[in-house]
């Protein structure tokens, strides 16, 4: 089982959007995929998969009240999902229990994608421990990049080793850093580039993942390509 996390220094760079759509892209490609919302402080994944009222959630699993299997729901294309409770504050659960809660998924899941909190707070680090392949998600702009460089150093200090970079909201303007320069700055390969695309926001407004609602949009095509590349990468 490959456990993939898109981590970012800054919040709001598209972690939830890209994690959800990448998971769905992998499911569309026939991969057995589980998407877990480990972002308990702003659990947004439920909004994309109509799971706001799910009776059992990751919160209950982390409290040891139910097994993980009771909080798994079926989404489009066979994607399986574990939502967090929208109406509960994050302080009532301990994310450090996440790695053990995910044990036992074993052979049934090929790809596990985790949506984690932003920055490097205690809860973020706890959630990152459940991952294995960490990709840094950044915008191609100086403010986001300087934060990403700092995050990379801190992650390495904490014993995590980011494997690559995903760029989001790429417009191809001259105020952006080109991919080659970002690769040099971060000393990591660029694994994917998702363009700035209005379809992404329209899809959020309609409460559906963009790869499902607008499969031909530039963002969806980039996300399908990212899924293909991740499949090809050795874990």
Ligand X SMILES: Nc1ncnc2c1ncn2[C@@H]1O[C@H](COP(=O)(O)OP(=O)(O)OP(=O)(O)O)[C@@H](O)[C@H]1O
Q: Which residues bind ligand X (CB under 6 A)?
A: 11-17, 39, 42, 44, 118, 168-169, 194, 196-197, 200-201, 204, 219
- In 10 A of CB 206, how many CB atoms? 13
Quick one: which segment of 11-19, 55-63, 157-165, 176-184 binds Mg ion (CB under 5 A)?
11-19
Question: Crossing angle of helices 142-157/179-186, nearest 10°?
Answer: 30
Least Cβ distance, residue 37 to ligand X (angstroms): 10
| Torsion angles phi and psi, residue 178, rounded to 5 | -70, 155
Cα atoms in the Cβ-side hemisphere of radius 13 Å centred on 124: 19
Compare residues 8 and 57 and give the one whose CB is closer to ligand X. 8
Compare residues 120 and 177 and give the one whose CB is closer to Mg ion. 120
Burial (Cβ within 10 Å: 0-12, 13-18, ≥19) of residue 101: buried
Residues 13-32 that bind Mg ion (CB under 5 A): 15-16
| Torsion angles phi and psi, residue 133, rounded to 5 | -105, 110
Least Cβ distance, residue 87 to ligand X (angstroms): 17
Least Cβ distance, residue 21 to Mg ion (angstroms): 12
Compare residues 106 and 173 and give the one whose CB is closer to ligand X. 173
Compare residues 93 and 200 and give the one whose CB is closer to ligand X. 200
Least Cβ distance, residue 73 to ligand X (angstroms): 20
Structural contact between residues 138 and 108, judged by C-beta atoms closer than 8 angstroms:
no
Name the residue with the smallest CB distance to Mg ion.
Answer: 16
Owner of token pair 């992404």? 200
């Amino acid at each position: 089982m490959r456990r993939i996390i898109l981590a970012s220094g800054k919040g709001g760079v598209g972690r939830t959007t890209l994690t959800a759509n990448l998971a769905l892209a992998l499911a569309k490609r026939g991969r057995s995929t589980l998407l877990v919302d480990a972002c308990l402080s702003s659990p947004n994944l439920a909004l994309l998969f109509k799971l706001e009222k799910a009776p059992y959630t990751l919160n209950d699993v982390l409290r040891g009240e139910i097994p993980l299997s009771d909080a798994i729901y079926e989404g489009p294309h066979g994607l399986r999902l574990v939502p967090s409770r929208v109406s509960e504050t994050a302080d009532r659960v301990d994310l450090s229990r996440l790695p053990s809660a995910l044990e036992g998924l074993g052979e049934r899941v090929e790809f596990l994608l985790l949506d984690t909190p932003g920055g490097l707070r205690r809860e973020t680090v706890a959630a990152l421990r459940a991952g294995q392949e960490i990709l840094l998600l950044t915008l191609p702009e100086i403010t986001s990049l300087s934060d990403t460089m700092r995050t990379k150093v801190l992650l390495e200090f904490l014993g995590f080793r980011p494997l690559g970079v995903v760029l989001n909201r790429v417009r191809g303007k001259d105020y952006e850093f080109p991919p080659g320069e970002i690769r040099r700055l971060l000393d990591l390969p660029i694994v994917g580039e998702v363009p700035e695309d209005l379809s992404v926001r329209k899809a959020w407004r309609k409460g559906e993942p963009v790869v499902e609602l607008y499969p031909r949009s530039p963002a969806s095509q980039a996300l399908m390509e990212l899924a293909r590349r991740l499949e090809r990468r050795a874990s």
